[in-house]
Amino acid sequence: METTLWLQGPNHPVSYQTTPLLHRFTLRYPSEPSLDTLVRVRRCAVMANYFEIDFLSVEAKKSGDAITVRYEIDGLTYIHVVDAGFQSSGDKVAQHIRTYYSNPTYIDHVVATHQDGDHAGGLRTILQEFDVGALWLHRPWLYAQEIIHRFATYESVPHLERRLRTIYPNLAALEEIAIERGIPIHEPFQGAQIGAFAVMAPSKARFLELIVESDKTPESIEEAEEGLFGKATTAVLAVAARVMTFVAAAWGAETFSPNETSNENEMSVVQYANLCGEKILLTGDTGRGGLQEAAAYAPYVGLSLPGIDRMQVPHHGSRRNVSTELLDRWIGPRLAAPALPGQETVTAIISSALEDTHHPRKSVIRAFVHRGGRVFATEGQAIRTQCNAPARAGWTALTPIAYPHEQEE
C-alpha cells in the first residue's frame, strides 16, 4: 500500500511505502494527569480508511502556517483545519478546501493554535464561509479572575479582561465571529479530544503561567520587581540573535540557540493522532517547554516514544524550539550515517515562506536528517502527505531538502 508525499510543482522525487494498521485514539483520560499516578486509558480500534494532510504555502516576508486535514473512519469523513495563515491567506485556504475536499459546506473542527497573526488571521474567513462544528481556541480573558493576583497594576477583573482581549486581538476576533454565527467554542487544553486528534499541550496550568510571564501581558508582580535592566537585556539579546554566521559541520553535529522561543509560541496547541497506523504530530509554534510537556503526556494517549512517523517542524524550523534531547525523545537518537533512500523513518514538514531568510534553520534540517528523517518545506508550494487518499490530478511527488553540510554558529 503506497503512501507518497505530493505537491503542486515541477519536482520529481521518491515515494515510500507503509502498511496501514488499525487507528487508535483515546476516548477518555484525565486532563491534567500526575506522572506518579497510573491511569487506565480506554481506547477504541477502528479502521482509518485514509487521511490527507495539506500544508499550504503562506507567502510573505514572514512565514505562516495553514494546515487542512481530511480523514475517513468507518465510512465517515471529517475535515479539520489547523490555522490559516494571515488574514490575506484565508481565501486561499477556503478555495483549497473546496477544490480538493469535494466542495464541502461543513468543517468539523477549526483549531487556532495560538494568537499570532500568521496562524490565526486567516481563520476569520474559514469561520465566515463554512458551517463549523467546533472552534478550538484559548481565551486568556476567561481566566482573569484566576491570575489577577499575579499582577502588580490590576485590581479590577473586568479591567484585566479588557486588557487581555486587546493583547490577543486575533483570538478575540475569532471568538466574536463564532458567537455571532453560533459556533461552539472549546478550550484546547491537554486532554481534550478534537476528532481523531488528542491535545498534548498546553495544560491549563502551564498556559496560565505563560500568560502571566508573557512580554505582551500587562506588567506582572515578578516583572515589576525585575525592572528596566532585565527588559533592556532581553532587547539586546533579541538584536544579537539576528546576526548569524554559518560554519562547516560534520555529520551528527548539532547546534541550537541557547535562547527560548516566545511565551506566545509556547501557548501553541500540540495535537497527536494515529491514522492508518501513522503517528502524526502537529506542533504549531510550540517550543521546548511544549514539546517536553507533550512528551510527558504521551503515555496517556497510548503513544510510546520515540516513534513519530510524520511531524510538523515547530515554528517554521526555528533553532529556538527544539533541542538534541527533545528530538531524541520524540524521534530517536542520531544515526551513525545517513539513512539510505527508502529507509527513512520520519517525514518532517516545515511551513516556511520563500522570502523568509530566517526560516528554516539549517541546524534544524540537519537534526531531523540525523534521525532518519526526510525534510520538506512549503516555500511557494502546497505539500500533501497522505495514506490511501484519493488521487489528485496535477500533483507530483516531492524531493526532500538536501542535507546541509553547514549550520548556524
Q: What HEC string does 267-286 produce?
A: CCCEEEEEECCEEEEECCCC
Query: How does strand 42-46 pair with strand 48-55?
Result: unpaired
Q: Say if residue 405's pLDDT is above 90.
A: yes
Give the pLDDT confidence of 79-89 residue by residue, as tens digits: 999 999 999 99
Long-range contacts of 240-247 (CB under 8 A, 24+ apart): 242/358, 244/408, 244/409, 245/408, 245/409, 246/362, 246/406, 246/407, 246/408, 246/409, 247/406, 247/407, 247/409
pTM of the model: 0.85
In angstroms, what is the C-alpha Rg of the chain? 21
Residue 70 burial (C-beta neighbours within 10 Å; 0-12, 13-18, 19+): buried
pLDDT-based confidence at residue 47 (cuts at 50, 70, 90) = low
Distances (CA, A) of 151 to 159, 160, 223, 225: 12, 9, 9, 11
Cell numbers that stand for 280 in this block: 502524526
Domains located in the chain, CATH noted: 2-29+41-408 (3.60.15.10)
Mean pLDDT of 33-40: 36
Percent of the chain with pLDDT over 70: 81
Sequence-separated (6 or more) residues with CB below 8 Å from residue 231:
none
The CB density around residue 56, as the number of other CB atoms within 10 Å, is: 25
Mean pLDDT of 123-138: 98
Give the pLDDT confidence of 189-233 residue by residue, as tens digits: 999 999 999 999 999 999 999 999 987 775 544 444 444 334 444
pLDDT-based confidence at residue 64 (cuts at 50, 70, 90) = confident
Long-range contacts of 8-12 (CB under 8 A, 24+ apart): 8/381, 8/382, 8/394, 8/395, 8/396, 9/380, 9/381, 9/396, 9/398, 10/396, 11/396, 11/397, 11/398, 11/399, 12/396, 12/397, 12/399
Q: Residue 353 has what pLDDT?
A: 82
Q: Say if residue 242's pLDDT is above 50.
A: yes
Cell numbers that stand for 398 in this block: 516531492
